[in-house]
Amino acid sequence: MPPLLAALLVAFSATVCQALEHIPDNMCIIKGDPHILQYDADKSGLHDGIYVTSTCSYTLTRTNCDAQDSKPVFWVTGSFKRTIPTEKPTAIYEINAFIMIKEKRWGVRFRRGLKDIRVYKLTDKLLPSLRLGSGQQMLGRPAYIHKGNLVKVQKAEDVSLGEWKNGTIVASVSFTNGMKVFYDGQKRAMIEASGKRFVGKMCGLCGNNDMNLHDENRIGPVHKGSHLCAGLCDNLNDKLDYNYGEVARSTDDFVKSWYKSGARSVGTCRAEWNL
């Protein structure tokens, strides 16, 4: 092998290994337009993950997955929008993350541009929110803490996990159960399921976190026969003909089965469901 080529390969390998040191196996990455690298995906850069072109809102990850009607104690949803209205690619636009605290839910909302970071007050009814400020306003401030759950904004170079574009800022929330969510307000988000308690116990677009790459795409609660599919799946070609927890036959079926909201209103998400 020519010396120059050998040197380039060594440099490339070192760069990949260095990047991998900052991306644990239990990390789900949403990047670009958008590709989702699930918890168990190959993070070497040789695997692009699942490709989402929808403009709806979906469950990215949640706990309590044994039955489709089980209520989670932790969950994260993501909303997607087209970066250019006339083109197919979309990007993550909004992230909502929640945890149950004594049968009441508390959560945080990050939205594109990090112009309006909010926390949802502890409640069991509708979710009034408290504005913490923009990302720039929160940068340099002490973290906001509620019952041990911590919301903060950092410069990209100060974030120890993942790869972030220099010069950007990253908002994050660290939950008392060990889960962490990061978002740069642009096209990149990460969810870390830290700890043995989450191994094989997660579900959603980020997969099940069971250290097996080949069984990630399991059907969620929206499928033929479920009450969530009634009036929603009628115009789909395959009617999402699955049972909960089955491995999906296509990425599109898998993504649709974790649908959260958006199709009932006028817009591109509604069109994607042929409503």
- Report if residue 187 sits inside a domain: yes
- Report if residue 235 sits inside a domain: no
- Report if residue 249 sits inside a domain: no
C-beta of residue 34 within 8 angstroms of C-beta of residue 189: no
- Report if residue 221 sits inside a domain: no
| Average pLDDT rounded to a whole number, residues 251-272 | 91
- Report if residue 174 sits inside a domain: yes
Radius of gyration of the chain (CA): 19
Instruction: Report DSSP state, residue 33.
Output: T
- Report if residue 273 sits inside a domain: no
Query: pLDDT of 102-128, one tens digit each?
Result: 889 999 999 999 999 999 988 776 677
Nearest to 193 by CA among 71, 17, 29, 66: 29
How confident is the model at residue 147, as a pLDDT? Answer: 94
Helix intervals (H) in 192-263: 251-257
Residue 263 CA, chain-centre distance (Å), reads 19
**Which residue range is the domain that position 79 belongs to?**
23-216
Higher pLDDT, 185 or 9: 185
Higher pLDDT, 166 or 13: 166
User: What percentage of the chain exceeds 90 in pLDDT?
Assistant: 61
> How far is Cα 27 from Cα 245, in angstroms, rounded to an integer?
21
Ranges assigned E (strand) in the chain: 27-31, 35-37, 50-51, 57-62, 74-82, 90-101, 104-111, 117-123, 129-133, 144-146, 149-155, 169-174, 179-183, 188-193, 259-261
Query: pLDDT of 44-87, one tens digit each?
Result: 765 668 888 889 999 999 999 999 889 999 999 999 998 787 77
- Report if residue 232 sits inside a domain: no
Q: How many domains does the chain have?
A: 1
Written as six digits, the tokens of 56 are 């709806």
> How far is Cα 5 from Cα 9, in angstroms, rounded to an integer?
6
How confident is the model at residue 119, as a pLDDT? Answer: 96
- Report if residue 60 sits inside a domain: yes
How confident is the model at residue 76, as a pLDDT? Answer: 98
Q: Model pTM?
A: 0.89
